[in-house]
Copies of this chain bind each other. A is one copy, B any other.
Amino acid sequence: MAKSKDNEKPDKKIEDLGNSIVRDIKNGSNPKFTTLARTRSNVIFDQKNGYLKLGGTKEERSFVNVSQSKRFMQTMAVAAKCHKFVKEGLHTTIRGLYYQLKFSLGEDVDENVFSEQSESNPLIEDIEVALSLKREDLNLNANRKGVLAGNMRIIDTFGNEKIEIDCAKQGRSGWAIPSDVDNDIEFVDIKAKYVIVVEKDALWQRLNEDLFWKKENAILITPQGQAARGTRRIIRKLADAGLPIYVFTDSDAWGWYIYWTIKTGSINLAYIGGDVATPEARFLGVTMSDLDKYEFLNKLTIKASEVDLKRAQEMLNYEWIKRHKEWEVELERMIKSKIKLEQDALQGPRLTFVGDYVREKIKNKEYLP
């Protein structure tokens, strides 16, 4: 099977795949399709680059193989649908794709080729990996979540118009980060000097109301909890544009997890690791050490949960953590004191203190790796 060229368009890549299979059939050889294994054991942490990615274990789907031929045929059906979506210039989701497969395969084939969406989902990943594409390139939107404000503009080619969105003119709402931030969309006039990623929308709104992004010339993003693909991707792109990325979360298991996912990617998305990980990201807080610096926070702590303590203990075993003393200190302090700290607590003395905290941390370079 011919390997796709990375700079080819998605529809062309799918055509190349199809042509190579037709060629195999004509030549009397067994059509094959090769992808990388997305098993847990093939997910590795790339020490040098600092993110999760797939290892080299390959998987082959062959047509002339009783146990694989159905899956092979299904994969081709998924690829054909995606090709159609790209050609039509229309988007849907992996659920919409599943319904199309159910609808149209039922027409030609006297068998229910897909009976559950769990059958088509992994095949989409197979194709993403095999063709070095993201599902967004195949016109499949993922769940979106996340909001942005700051000194930059967006040119969104949408409905045959070039729509200009000024992210400094989005008021209380901010710009809703879409699923696809790569195709038919451009980020221009990025005048901001750095990016703050705020775990909670509530705190984003607090900083937005204070016009923090304007006063500090920053870009203010909230993933609204765990970051969706689109939000991870835009953070990566802003880092590529040379902006430092600072992540601001609670000091607890969930907050750390959000940070790690932004920084190193995640097991599920290891197959597109480098595209959705930002190893350059730094952790701004809140930290357990803030309790020493900001006296008032001591009366605003809350009890750490079992999950928090268990997670902290697990993280202490990470090779990476062992090499970063600052993180060891943080984790050990939670385990010992059994308390945690929310970013919301910074509003205790006055609502505008949140911005002062962020400003001071950045000014003094008080962040963790």
Contacts and interface: CB of A to CB of B under 8 A. Distances in A.
A214 B99 CA distance: 26
Contacts of A201: 143-144
B147 A172 contact: no
Given A91-B206, A93-B202, A106 B159 contact: no
A226 to B, nearest CB: 15
Interface stretch (A35-43, A68-76, A175-183): A175-183
A144 B222 CA distance: 13
A110 B143 CA distance: 48
B143 A95 contact: no
Main secondary structure of the interface of A (DSSP, over half): mixed
A122 interface: no
A238 B156 CA distance: 27
Given A91-B209, A201-B144, A300 B175 contact: no
A296 interface: yes
Contact of A103 (B92, B172, B349): B349
Interface residues of A, number: 57
Interface stretch (A2-10, A127-135, A163-171): A163-171
A172 B178 CA distance: 7
A338 interface: no
Number of copies of this chain that the complex holds? 2
Given A96-B347, A202-B95, A300-B99, A158 B172 contact: yes
Given A95-B344, A99-B348, A174 B176 contact: yes
A352 interface: yes
A331 B88 CA distance: 38
A340 to B, nearest CB: 14
A102 B209 CA distance: 23
A154 B170 CA distance: 10
Given A90-B351, A171-B165, A96 B206 contact: yes
Contact of A92 (B156, B164, B299, B351): B351
A58 to B, nearest CB: 33
Give the top 5 A-B pairs by smallest Cβ distance, nearest first.
A103-B348, A156-B171, A158-B171, A173-B176, A163-B171
Interface of A: 85, 88, 90-93, 95-96, 99-100, 102-104, 106, 141, 143-144, 147, 154, 156, 158-159, 163-165, 169-180, 185, 201-202, 205-206, 209-211, 214, 296, 299-300, 342, 344-345, 347-349, 351-352
